[in-house]
Each structure stands twice: as structure tokens, then as C-alpha cells.
Amino acid sequence: MGSSNGMKAAARVYRDLLKAVRKHVGKEEHNAHFSDFIKQEFRISSSQHRSKDPSFIQQKLKLARDYTFYLNSVHHHKELLFSYNIAVDRSDEMKKILGKSAASVGLQLPAAYQP
């Protein structure tokens, strides 16, 4: 039963880390090596979990949690810095935010006229 909870926790860490990498690093092909590395590390760790020291596996899970927290925190910090800087032209960021808001309710913003 403890192993089942451990596998659920590992799966949760894996999903959270992949989600953070895709969101903050990107899903583009030139950034795919980040996701590929994470997938490979979890595949190796899960296939060899019986033969490795449990403390080693816990260290790797803690590292993955910490890196997820780091990615999310850096992204949040960057957003805060942009929001506090009045001198920066934020029209592109605002368009992105408005586009996400519209998409969340199933709408799409019209393209702005560029003379």
C-alpha cells in the first residue's frame, strides 16, 4: 500500500514538472529536449526503483519538486516585475492576457487593424 502511494506521489511530481516545463520553457520543437530529459529520467527511476536505494529516489523526487517550484516562481517573479514597471510598453502582454481570457470562455479576439 505504501508503494502505491509512492507511485501516485511520483506521478503527481512528474505531471507537475512536465506542466511547468511546457508552460514556462515552451512546447516548441527546439525546446523538446527539456521534456525528453524529464521523461527519460522518470522512466529510468521508475523502472529501477526496486534496485535503487529509496533515499536516492526520494532525493530525485525532491529535486523534481524543487525545480517545478523554481520554474513557477521565476515565471511569477518575471510577471511581477513587468507589472510594476510602468515605463515598459505592455500592450503585447495585455493582448496575450485578453486572448487567454477570451479563450477560456470559448471566444477569440479579432485581429487588430494594422495600417
Give yes or no for residue 51 having a pLDDT over 70: no
- CA angle 89–90–96, rounded 5-degree value: 145
Reported confidence tier of residue 1, pLDDT bands at 50, 70, 90:
very low
Tens of pLDDT, residues 54-85:
787 788 888 889 999 999 999 898 888 877 87
Q: What is the mean pLDDT of the chain?
A: 78
Give yes or no for residue 44 having a pLDDT over 70: no
Give yes or no for residue 52 having a pLDDT over 70: no
Q: Look at residue 94 in the predicted model and tell me its pLDDT.
A: 80
Q: Look at residue 38 in the predicted model and tell me its pLDDT.
A: 82
Four-point Cα dihedral 57, 22, 80, 69, nearest 10? -10
Q: Look at residue 70 in the predicted model and tell me its pLDDT.
A: 92
